[in-house]
């Protein structure tokens, strides 16, 4: 077990996990689109979708013991666990998505119960059915999860959709954090080569989500809602000046649901630190504040930070400032105290 010494306590808010064995939901529900795991060799499995290969994963994707061993090597004290976004299943029948979500949420809760000082859990919800989503949100809180992970859009709804507002309102009322992660990337039919859905589509999805929540007045109406966005907010930070300028010159298009300028919301939400560049990290910290950027690595996937905390620890900052990014911002977002996680 990692022990806190003179270094900063470290919390990684962006890590993904799957159960080692996933039911055959295609067979159970009578239609396809669901992920299964093919354990074709020791410590490795193929993620399969309707018999087609999706991604190769290793045992650190399902084994908490393997994760803790790697955390020890990289000096990560706590991982915040969330499912792999391909598991969201928002496209499925709502009652089936609910069953998938309950299976995944129970799995994460069980790991957190088993290792309460090493893991914090986020649930997933049938967001396409808000009433069911709120019911499962309440259950997530009852089983000890600290928040939920949601997609950057929900089928044809962007995050400003009035249908989704009651879910966000319930998250605020229940003191549950939200982690927004890209999925089902826009224009993917135009991105068939070069890994473009992940390199171009994902950053655009995050910007879509942030702009939707700002322009739609979600942050204005729910000032205590705690929302974090993956991948440093995607392309949003780099295009904020354009977004603000658009708001200034065309309020008839941009300010139709919320008259408050986009820049006013900097510091009202969190970003993870997964930007791969020290200048960009410096920029987003300057943009939203050192209390609003939290270590996030996308563990255990290769597009993440392969040495967790390396970028933050390599910055020419005080240990106090590094500590805010390594654990302070994460704990505030989660609504937790450090004492709850110390061995």
- The pLDDT assigned to 343 comes to 76
Residue 150 lies in a domain: yes
Span 158-195, pLDDT tens digits: 999 999 999 999 999 999 999 999 999 999 999 999 99
Q: In the beta sheet, which residues pair with residue 38?
A: 46
Does the pLDDT value for residue 136 go beyond 90?
Answer: yes
| Cα separation, 280 vs 184, whole angstroms | 25
- The pLDDT assigned to 3 comes to 39
- Which residues form the domain of 310? 60-337
Residue 251 lies in a domain: yes
Number of Cβ atoms within 10 Å of the Cβ of 125:
27
Q: Tell whether the torsion through CA atoms of 211, 217, 220 and 221 is positive or negative.
A: negative
Beta strands across the sheet bearing 270-272: 11-16, 78-82, 119-123, 147-151, 177-181, 227-229, 270-272, 293-294
- Phi-psi group of 53: left, alpha or beta (phi > 0 → left; psi -120 to 50 → alpha; rest → beta): beta
Residue 26 lies in a domain: no
**128, 120 Cβ separation under 8 angstroms:** no
Residue 283 lies in a domain: yes
Residue 222 lies in a domain: yes
Q: How many domains does the chain have?
A: 1
Looking at residue 276, which CATH number applies to its domain?
A: 3.20.20.140
Residue 31 lies in a domain: no
Share of the chain above pLDDT 70, in %: 98
| Cα separation, 271 vs 288, whole angstroms | 8
Span 295-338, pLDDT tens digits: 999 999 999 999 999 999 999 999 999 999 999 999 999 999 99
Residue 54 lies in a domain: no
**266, 23 Cβ separation under 8 angstroms:** no
Q: Does the predicted TM-score (pTM) go above 0.85?
A: yes
Residue 195 lies in a domain: yes
């Amino acid at each position: 077990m990692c022990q806190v010494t003179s270094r900063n306590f470290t919390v990684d808010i962006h890590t993904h996990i799957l159960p080692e064995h996933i039911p055959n939901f295609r067979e159970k529900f009578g239609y396809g689109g669901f992920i299964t795991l093919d354990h074709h060799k020791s410590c490795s499995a193929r993620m399969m979708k309707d018999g087609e290969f999706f991604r190769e994963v290793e045992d650190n994707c399902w084994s908490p013991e393997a994760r803790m061993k790697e955390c020890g090597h990289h000096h990560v004290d706590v991982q915040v666990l969330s499912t792999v976004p391909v598991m969201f299943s928002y496209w499925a029948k709502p009652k089936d998505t609910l069953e998938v979500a309950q299976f995944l949420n129970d799995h994460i809760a069980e790991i957190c119960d088993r290792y309460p000082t090493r893991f914090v859990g986020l649930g997933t919800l049938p967001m396409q059915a808000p009433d069911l989503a709120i019911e499962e949100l309440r259950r997530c809180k009852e089983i000890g999860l600290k928040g939920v992970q949601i997609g950057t859009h929900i089928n044809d709804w962007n995050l400003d959709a009035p249908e989704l507002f009651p879910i966000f309102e319930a998250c605020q009322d229940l003191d549950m954090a939200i982690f927004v992660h890209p999925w089902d990337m826009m224009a993917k039919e135009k991105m068939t080569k070069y890994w473009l859905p992940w390199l171009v589509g994902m950053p655009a999805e995050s910007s879509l989500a942030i702009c939707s929540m700002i322009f739609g007045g979600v942050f204005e109406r729910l000032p205590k809602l705690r929302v974090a966005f993956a991948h440093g907010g995607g392309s949003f930070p780099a295009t904020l000046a354009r977004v603000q300028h658009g708001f200034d010159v065309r309020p008839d298009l941009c300010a139709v649901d919320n008259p408050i300028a986009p820049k006013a919301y900097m510091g009202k939400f969190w970003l993870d630190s997964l930007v791969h560049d020290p200048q960009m990290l410096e920029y987003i910290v300057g943009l939203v504040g050192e209390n609003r950027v939290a270590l996030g690595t996308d563990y255990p996937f290769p597009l993440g930070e392969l040495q967790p905390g390396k970028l933050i620890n390599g910055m020419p900052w005080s240990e106090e400032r590094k500590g805010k990014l390594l654990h302070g911002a994460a704990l505030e977002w989660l609504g937790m105290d450090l004492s709850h996680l110390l061995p």
